[in-house]
Structures are given as C-alpha cells and as structure tokens.
Amino acid sequence: MTSPSFSSNKTEQNAWRMFRIMGEFIEGFQTLSELPKGVTIFGSARTKPADPYYLAAEDIAHRCASRGLPVITGGGPGIMEAGNKGAAAGKGVSIGLCIRLPMEQGGNPWINTRVDFHYFFVRKVMFLKHTCAAVVMPGGFGTLDELFETATLVQTHKIERMPIILYGRSFWQGMLEWIRQQMELQHHYISPGDLDLLTVVDSVDECMAALDKLTPDHSAT
C-alpha cells in the first residue's frame, strides 16, 4: 500500500508539472499571438552548412521572409539554423521554438523571436497553431514525428488544410511508395487521396510555387 507521504510527494510533483506545462503554453501564446502565421521548416539538426539541403532551406526561408511571411523552426542547428538564417537575411521574422535537450547547445544565432520549451508536446502545439504551411526537409525520427503529426491533424480536420511540402524526391520517394503500397492499397489503413496531402518537390522554385498563394495573415492568432 502506498504511504501517505509518498502519495503526497507525487501529487505535489504532478501539480508543479501542470503549472510548468501551463506556463509554457502561456509564454508561447503570448509571444506568438501578435504575429501572422508562418511557414515552418522542419529537418535534421545534423545537416551541415555546405549540404544542398541546408542551402535550399536557407533560400526558401529568405524568399518567404521577403514576402512578409514569418519563418518558424525548432531553433537548433542544421536545417533549423538554415531556416532562421535565411529569414534573418530576408529581414523577416525568424522564430525559434527551442527544445531543451542535453545534446544541443541552446538556439542558433539567427533567431529574432524565441520561445524555449521543456515539453515536446507543448512545442508541437505552438508549431501547428501558428503555421500556415510546412516545408519538410530530409531528417530523422524527429522530422518524421513532425511530418506525421502535421499530416494527421490535417487528415482528421483538427487543423485547416495547408501545404505540406516534402523537399527532395530521392529522399522521400521510398517512404511514400511504402505508404501507398502497404498502408493504402494492401491494408487500407489510409484512405485514397490521403497521400495527396503531401506535395513532393525537388527545387526551391518548385517549393515556392507550392507556397505561391500564401500571404501574411495579420488577423491570425
């Protein structure tokens, strides 16, 4: 049987955890609420500055910022750094939603609007509440998590439909073919047309064409 003192300690810990979660939501909402929705760029933290994907992400972010669209990233190195760097160079709003991890050292230097998070799930809420399009560059588990979270919420109509752009056909094609063959055609785990939520591009120009109709929405909160 659980002792009263142990139960009390757990209750107190959970209470403080709830306050911390609420605090992160409040800070995120307050910091971002006055900004128009932005283009979120997801991708690997391990991508090097000379990598073509890094350079493409930087160019996409620069072009988005030049259109007046905020650019949102996870605030770390790699593709995230490229997105913030491009947005800053385009004299735009460069947002970093930074997660505290032992293996990553703070945010990159190109962020001009920053929010820090301890909880991944709070951070993901902030991403998707303030995003009008997602550009997904090649990446690992975290990138896939962000991709499928976005696609699921659009698929289930929890958020409005928006462009979800996968950059780099050679990287994504095998996964997309597996989804089509296994999830859609063989097992019917997704509906016909669900894959149409995703747009695959191979160049910055193609990506910007897919984002062509986006304009800053200053009424977004």
Tokens 């063989």 sit on residue: 186
pTM exceeds 0.85:
yes
Q: Which pLDDT belongs to residue 3?
A: 55
Q: Where do the structural domains in the chain lie, given as residue ranges? A: 4-210
How far are the Cα atoms of 35, 93, 145, 208 from residue 30, in angstroms, in the given order?
Answer: 10, 16, 26, 30
Q: Which pLDDT belongs to residue 221?
A: 46
For the domain made up of 4-210, the CATH class stated in words is alpha beta
Q: Which residues of the chain have pLDDT under 50?
A: 221
Q: Which pLDDT belongs to residue 6?
A: 53
Strands (E), 127-182: 131-136, 164-167
Buried b (16+ CB within 10 A) or exposed e, 95-107: bbbbbeeeebeeb
Contacts of 139 (CB under 8 A, 6+ apart): 42, 43, 44, 45, 47, 79
- Report the alpha-carbon distance of residue 86 to residue 71 in Å, rounded: 9
